[in-house]
Amino acid sequence: MRMNMSIFKVKVQVYAILMLAIVSACDYSNRTFLTEAALIPVPVSVSSSKGFFEFSEKTNIYLVNADLELHRVAEFLNDYISPSTGFLLSVKEVESAEDVFGVIFVLSDDSDFRNEEYELRIMPNKVVLTSATHEGIFRGIQTIRQLLPASIEKQTVQNDKWVIPAGVIRDYPRFQYRGAMLDVSRHFFGVEDVKRYIDYLASIKMNRFHMHLTDDQGWRIEIKSWPKLTEIGGQTQVGGGRGGFYTQDEFSEIVRYADDRFIVVVPEIDMPGHTNAALASYPELNPDGIAPELYTGIDVGFSTLDTRNELTYTFVEDVIREIAQLTTGDYLHIGGDESWVTAKEDYIYFINRVQDIVLKYNKRIVGWDEIATAELRPGAISQFWKHEENALKAAQQGGSIIVSPADRAYLDMKYDSTTVIGLSWSGFIEVDRAYEWEPTALVEGFPEALVYGVEAPLWTETIETMKDIEYMIFPRILGIAEIAWSSADNRSWDEYKFRLAAFEKRLSAKDVNFYKSPLVPRK
């Protein structure tokens, strides 16, 4: 009996070794248990059970309580997995998830679900993704995508096993606003680059895309009632390049593309400062009435609209009206930062009047933290980037806050002194520094209830190509996404850095030009 037991133990050990070898060869190692999956952002709760679900060419997608929007969302899963798997999954409507096997999306009428909340139940014979909203289903699809092998991100058919471990994930975001900004004014980026940026945000459950459309170096959005803005002001950029702009049709295309991915476009028209491109186009908006030269440098704070000229407010209203008609979201960003040559009383007068114009067109006001020195209108959102006293002024007025600290969340800051591109006026931001901060604890005395969300801006003084964008945002934007989505007590750098190391395989599979931080442990 003792000999048989010994033989049994040896057989078990051999079997375990063989299974480990098989698992390692198939790259299942970080997906053996659902609780060990390298998900970013980290979900609210995860529990493991035995087994795996495997996608195959015979897998179907079933929809419960289907409508046209749920069909559209379901096709995103096909779009994600088809290039690498070669599968095109059939999409079918069913009455219930009970008697079918495959991938099942359930649009629930359960009032306990939050807007973006989803539940993902993975069993050996089915995957059931449930949410009360299409948006929640879409967020859950991103989790399914991350549970699959990293090779799912390839654009050619791969020889892999498309398995995900069994268990249950329940997940929902911490903050309503989870965004990133792209400055297309310092350097212009075309529609396809912008779409790629939006895709990156969607993959990590971000839901706001802030476009910095105007600045001293370029005006990037067609305004039909003021055509010289793009004819003159759109023709250059930092360093003297040819610049560019979006026609209204192109901008609408970007808005639709973001909407399809449940991302709201937040357009920014920066004023009364950062307006040299507008003043060069229409000198009558300049306090001295003289057209300045087009500007291709990177200094700030030297330009201003004529805040006591009624023509200025005709101009502002025309711009806001046309952009409001092009956007489907609730927001319009009025800038308001670094207007150093505008007299303080003129600045306050301008911001107050412009807020009223924004409200006239049924948009919610967003501005950099300096706007809190004026009288904030109801519903106004102040974007904290530097000045703590302005964050407190916004709080005193009951204004909401988007948190974007320049020394933590500005993705154009260099990683360290050896980084070739980027700036360093707010210090170096290594990957750990971009992750280890709490949005509600940056300003002493600031009410947590007023934190509306988190945003990571990317300014482009030194950023010229999509590869430049990728290098500066990845991997830091992953940490910002987690800060915005996941609760503070569910986050730890010591644990996150290992998930980040595993996630780098996905970035490589997508051919992303990311920064390989020495702080991230790699085998």
281 by Cβ neighbours in 10 Å (0-12 / 13-18 / 19+) ranks as buried
C-alpha of 359 from chain center: 26
Alpha-carbon gap, residue 400 to 12, rounded angstroms = 60
DSSP assignments along 416-446, one per residue: STT-SSSB-TT----HHHHHS--GGGSSTT-
Catalytic-role residue among 69, 250, 253, 338: 338
Closest CA to 469 of 114, 155, 55, 184: 184
Interior CA angle at 260 toward 255 and 264, to 5°?
A: 50
Supply φ then ψ for residue 124, to 5 degrees: -60, -25
DSSP assignments along 266-293, one per residue: EEEEEESSS-HHHHHH-GGGSTT--PPP
Query: Strands, E, within 317-428: which ranges?
Result: 331-335, 364-368, 381-384, 400-403
C-beta of residue 110 within 8 angstroms of C-beta of residue 93: no
- Whether 338 sits among the annotated catalytic residues: the reply is yes
How distant, in Å, are the alpha carbons of 133, 154, 263, 302, 450 from that of 426?
40, 36, 29, 20, 25
Extract the tokens encoding 228: 């010289």
Which positions are annotated as active-site residues? Answer: 338
